[in-house]
Amino acid sequence: MAQFIVRRIPSLPGWLAGVTGSGKTEVYLSVLEKRARSGKQALVMVPEIGLTPQTIARFRERFNAPVEVLHSGLNDSERLSAWLKAKNGEAAIVIGTRSALFTPFKNLGVIVIDEEHDSSYKQQEGWRYHARDLAVYRAHSEQIPIILGSATPRTGKRYATCSRKNTACCA
């Protein structure tokens, strides 16, 4: 299934729906492995800082490549270090919350949004935006694949996405 997703979604969103424990993370890992072999970086977004440690552990266990973290719980020097590593191409994978979306990458090759339905991706204060929607825009403008994973995908958006040509939808 992971190969199907990478082949089919050059710049349009691909949906990956499955209940918790169904193997969505394994699909993400497979896609990232394929992208890493071609020298591409990856952005993996998670809705909450609390989900970051378990995600990081799993990704570091799987990849023999630098995995960086970006979220608001880091101090300024930690955040700058991760940001610069992504920008310079030293970070193969960046895992972060919605603010990680604004990270510059040297060679970004895929964006994964885990639990895309989560309301935490919506910025309510200051400059208002929805990280999921901006990620889809970024993927489209950079012509890279994006995978939107969810145990409970939004029906209307899923239909609109899946009805587009060359979009992979896995349920």
Q: What is the 3-state secondary structure (H, E, C) of the chain?
A: CHHHHHHHCCCCEEEEECCCCCCHHHHHHHHHHHHHHCCCEEEEECCCHHHHHHHHHHHHHHCCCCEEEECCCCCHHHHHHHHHHHHCCCCCEEEECHHHHHCCCCCEEEEEECCCCCHHHEECCCCCEEHHHHHHHHHHHHCCCEEEEECCCCHHHHHHHHCCCCCCEEC
Residue 122 lies in a domain: yes
Rounded Cα–Cα distance for residues 78 and 71 (Å): 10
Q: What is the pLDDT of residue 31?
A: 82
More confident residue, 98 or 19: 98
Q: What is the pLDDT of residue 55?
A: 77
Residue 165 lies in a domain: no
Within the chain, what is the greatest distance between any pair of CA atoms?
Answer: 44
pLDDT of 87-146, one tens digit each? 999 999 999 999 999 999 999 999 999 888 888 999 988 889 899 999 999 999 999 988
11 pLDDT higher than 70: no
Residue 139 lies in a domain: yes
Rounded Cα–Cα distance for residues 2 and 31 (Å): 6
Total domains present in the chain: 1
Residue 137 lies in a domain: yes
pLDDT of 28-77, one tens digit each? 788 888 888 889 999 999 998 876 677 788 888 888 889 999 998 999 99
Asked if 32 and 93 count as a contact pair (C-beta separation under 8 A), the reply is yes
Asked if 55 and 100 count as a contact pair (C-beta separation under 8 A), the reply is no
Residue 59 sits in a domain of what CATH number? 3.40.50.300
13 pLDDT higher than 80: no
Confidence band, pLDDT 50/70/90 cuts, at residue 167: very low
Residue 1 lies in a domain: no
Q: What is the pLDDT of residue 2?
A: 40
Residue 118 lies in a domain: yes
Residue 62 lies in a domain: yes
Instruction: Domain of residue 126: give its range.
Output: 14-150
Residue 3 lies in a domain: no
Q: Radius of gyration (Cα) for the chain, nearest Å?
A: 15
